[in-house]
Amino acid sequence: NAAGTPPSRLGLRPGDEIALGDAVKALITKSANDVAVAVAEHIAGSEAHFARLMTRKAHELGMSRTTFRNPHGLPDSAQVTTARDMLTLAMRLSDDFPRQYSLFSLRVFHYAGRAYRNHNTMLGYYRGMDGLKTGYTTSSGFNLVTSVRRGGRHVVAVVFGGSSAAARNVQMRAMLDRALPRASTHRTRQRAEPK
């Protein structure tokens, strides 16, 4: 089932095994849909059950307008989220998993003799960017959640619906360029308590 998932894929074949650390890196850098399905089935037994668990966790985190129907984000008319909910998720990842959070800054993931570049190309040229994640489907367009730390300031931003990766990046860069100089050098929100 995982091997037959539409691209983007790492190219796992039925019966292949992948270490969890490599699976996480493949999900972050390449958005590997085959890996997302394999992880979901391993944890929950099925994509549908994993999506229900994801939705429940999202609501516990305060992402009240998010419903997941699959583990990879491929189109499903009942699968929805908001920019605010994705900001909430980004901040909780940083708060709850500070050691693992650095994985979102990986520019390249090496696996089985191949190098996979991160789809978030802004990591290579926007100073202070430490992650997070891109996404794309024909119905939602080119999407990006970013985190930038610069000059004692921390800004998290979301762009949904870009017409291309380049257009999305231009919009994100403009938003960050406006927000960073106005951001506080002091923490303006309390770190969320893990649930």
pTM over 0.85: yes
Q: Average model confidence (pLDDT) for the chain?
A: 95
Predicted confidence at residue 194, as pLDDT, reads 64
Whether the predicted pLDDT of 34 surpasses 70:
yes
Could you report the per-residue pLDDT of 101-150, keeping only the tens digit for each? 999 999 999 999 999 999 999 999 999 999 999 999 888 999 999 999 99
User: 9 burial class (0-12, 13-18, 19+ CB within 10 angstroms)?
Assistant: buried
Could you report the per-residue pLDDT of 61-116, keeping only the tens digit for each? 999 999 999 999 999 999 999 999 999 999 999 999 999 999 999 999 999 999 99
CA nearest 29: which of 123, 106, 127? 106
**% of the chain surpassing 70 pLDDT:** 99
